[in-house]
Amino acid sequence: MLQSLADYVREIIKPETGLNPVVESSGQSGWIVLDYGYVVVHLLSPEKREYYDLEGLWQNAKTVLSVQ
């Protein structure tokens, strides 16, 4: 499912910006990072999301978009 989400994000972003992300990891790891330079998209499985608690780690940073 994460790989499908990553593919969808790339399909939407490419025509709008012309950018291709640097992709780290795969859906099987439970965490995919799409690095567009100015925006980094993190796609996490529920288990990885709870374990790494990125929202807590970056709680003082400006949130641009959070989708759950």
- pLDDT value of position 44: 93
Pairwise CA distance, residues 6 & 8, whole Å: 5
Kindly list the structural domains of the chain, giving each domain's residue range(s) and its CATH number in brackets, ordered by start.
2-57 (3.30.460.10)
Question: For 11-30, how does the pLDDT look when each residue is reduced to its tens digit (9 = 90+)?
Answer: 999 999 999 999 998 788 99
- pLDDT value of position 31: 94
pLDDT band of residue 38 (cuts 50, 70, 90) is: confident
pLDDT band of residue 46 (cuts 50, 70, 90) is: very high
Mean pLDDT of 58-63: 84
Helix (H, G, I), strand (E, B) or coil at 58: coil
Q: Quick one: which H or E segment has residue 6? A: helix 2-17
Q: Name the pTM for this structure.
A: 0.76
